[in-house]
Chains A and B, each alone.
Chain A
Amino acid sequence: MSRQSNRTTDSKKMNAELFTLTYGALVTQLCKDYENDEEVNKQLDKMGYNIGVRLIEDFLARSSVGRCQDFRETADVIAKVAFKMYLGITPSVTNWSPAGDEFSLILESNPLVDFVELPDNHSSLVYSNLLCGVLRGALEMVQMAVDVKFAQDTLRGDNITEIRMKFIKRIEENLPAGDE
């Protein structure tokens, strides 16, 4: 059993460049496979979603984070614990909407784009759109429906990279049908 417990306690360090380059190869291939950028964005989001629904279990097993009481706590956990654990960065949380149901993650550096320069003919490609899918999928598994999108991206000439998160609703848990 000792081998297994080691596996979860020390997070395995991986060369970030390998990850970045693999992601780059994935996006490149998708751009070849699909004619338009919108479709590539959609595929990236979908892949991210599928990663997110599994990643959340790994995250919960590794960190001792319990259920969040409100969206602010969720924002903190995402920025300070999750991003740190998986990407080695700590985005800042800003631009809260007055209702407290929307916020922005500002990424000073985005490890996915370390070696990227977007060619002019891909102006509507959201290069790191996988992250949106991951966030959406992971939060859905903890009963939060959330809308995630890139509001600004340094790759497309903005000064900062900003991911906008909007809380839609709590997903209620139901007793399975035919089980009264």
Chain B
Amino acid sequence: MTVHNLYIFDRNGSCLHYGEWNRKKQAGISKEEEFKLMYGMLFSIRSFCSKMSPLDMKDGFLTFQTSKYKLHYYETPTGIKIIMNTDLGVPNAKDILHQIYSTLYVEYIVKNPLCVLGEQLTSDLFTTRLDLYIRALPFFSPRAA
């Protein structure tokens, strides 16, 4: 099992942070374009899900998977979106994404007055902590499968 990469978007669609661990295949477009493409797809999936759902939804869109990877999606009521791609064996990562939000994003970004909200994150502290956190996840190591 493994973690491929992680995106954090704000409510306006700007990519605040991108982290990459085991990504074998690159998109072949610039990162800027990739972020826009990613956000656009998530935005569409969200509205697709809410329109197509035959029942009232509570959480909305949570995850999708292909033959090779699984995308986990978490959104706060303030519109912060955290997206993590893992391989198929990883169970629901909602709690982990919430943890990333509450113990890393809020602690090291929101509570740091020098970090301007809505701009790309430049805090080294945040980046290091996030890296440590991801590497410590039980399903991080590619060999653990």
Contact = CB atoms under 8 A, between A and B. Distances in A.
B101 interface: yes
Contacts of B31: none
A58 B104 CA distance: 11
Dominant secondary structure at the B interface: helix
Nearest to B106: A61
A54 B11 CA distance: 14
B12 interface: yes
A5 B103 contact: yes
B117 A54 contact: yes
Interface string B107-145: 100110000010000000000010011001000000000
Contacts of A8: 102-103, 106-107
A: interface residue count bin: 20 to 34
Given A62-B102, A173-B11, A179-B13, A4 B78 contact: no
Contacts of A62: 102
A142 B110 contact: no
Contacts of B136: 1
B54 interface: no
A66 B58 contact: yes
Interface string B30-65: 000000100110010000000000000010000000
A57 B115 CA distance: 14
A175 B43 contact: yes
Q: How large is the interface on B (under 10, 10 to 19, 20 to 34, 35 or more residues)?
A: 20 to 34
B67 to A, nearest CB: 28
B14 to A, nearest CB: 7
B40 A67 contact: no
A176 interface: yes
Contact of B78 (A1, A68, A142, A176): A142
B107 to A, nearest CB: 6
B117 A61 contact: no
Interface in B12-34: 12-14
B11 to A, nearest CB: 7
Contacts of B39: 176, 179
B89 interface: no
A7 interface: yes
B80 interface: yes
29 contacts: A1-B103, A4-B129, A5-B99, A5-B103, A7-B107, A8-B102, A8-B106, A53-B117, A54-B110, A54-B111, A54-B117, A57-B76, A57-B80, A57-B110, A58-B111, A60-B76, A60-B78, A61-B103, A61-B106, A66-B77, A68-B77, A141-B79, A142-B77, A143-B79, A173-B11, A175-B40, A176-B12, A176-B36, A179-B40
Nearest 6 A/B pairs, CB to CB:
A61-B102, A176-B13, A61-B106, A57-B110, A67-B77, A4-B103
Interface of B: 11-14, 36, 39-40, 43, 58, 76-80, 99, 101-107, 110-111, 117, 129, 132-133, 136
Interface of A: 1, 4-5, 7-8, 53-54, 56-58, 60-62, 65-68, 141-143, 173, 175-176, 179
